[in-house]
Structure 1
C-alpha cells in the first residue's frame, strides 16, 4: 500500500507538475497574445531610446546651426538694412536732383521761349529804329540841302542888296559906331 500511496502521490505530483507546466504555458501564450505588442513596444523603446538620443543630439546640433544661421542672418540683415537705408538716402537725393533738373529744364525751356520772343521784339524794334534813323538821316540830308540852298540864296540876296558893308565904309573906319549886323 505504500507502493500504491507512493504511486498516487507520484501521480498527483506529476499531475501538479504537468498542470503547473501546462498552466504556465497557457498563461504564457495568453499573456504573449495580450501583451506582445506592449512588450515589443517596451523592447523597442530601448532601441528607440538610443535612436531618440541620436535624434536629440542631431536636433541639438541642428538648433545650434539654426541659431548660428539666425545670428548670421540678423547680421547680414542689419548690413542689408544699413545698405538699404543708405541707398534710400541716395535715391532720395537723386530724386531731388532729378526734380531740380526737370524744373531747371522747364525753366530753361521757358527762358529760351522768352528769349526768342525778346529777340523777335528786338529785331522788330531794330528794324523800326533803323527805319526811323534812315528817315531822320534822309530828312537831315534834305534839311541840310535846303539850308545850304537857302543860305546860298540869302548870301546872294545880301550881296545884291548891299554894295558896301557897314564895316567897310570909310566913315565907319573913322568913327566907330555900332552897326547892325545881320
Structure 2
C-alpha cells in the first residue's frame, strides 16, 4: 500500500476507464485521514486565462490557458505555483511540498509576480473522501510515484503520462508502452 502524501503524482493505470481520469497524471495537493485532493496536470482547456482571470494572464506558464483540474467544483479555480526561492514565499502561498504550493487567487498579483518560477490555474479539482483514494490505489487504478519539478509546468502536456511512467524503475516503466487492450498486442 502506497504512503500517499502531498507532492506525489497519481498516474492512471490502463484499467482506470473513467473518462475524467483516463491517462491522466494528478498532482496530490493534500492527503490525510480525511481524504485527498489533487489536480490533473495534463488536461489543458481551450479557455485562455486572460478571459477568466485577466489579472493573472501575464503570470501563468505557457500554455496560458486554464487546465481542467478535475470533475469537482469546475466553476472554481485553483492555482499551483513553484517558488523561485523557498526563502521568498509571497503572501497567499501555501506550501504543498518543498518549493511547490497553492496560491490564493484573491492575492493581488503584484505581491506574487516575480517570486514564482511557474504558475498554472486549474478549473476544478480531483477529490477523494476518507479511504477512497487508498482503495483505488489498492485495486490498481493508480500508480503512486514521485514528482519532479518539470512535471507541473511543462508546455506540452500530451506525453506527460508516458514520460512519467517511462522514468520509473523496474517493470513500471514498461507500462508506458502498453496498448489500451494488451490482447491486441
Instruction: Give the TM-score band, short-chain normalised.
Output: under 0.3
Identify, as 1 or 2, the structure richer in helix. Answer: 1
Larger Cα-atom Rg: 1
TM-score, normalising length from structure 2? 0.12
Higher relative contact order (CA 8 A, sep 6+): 2
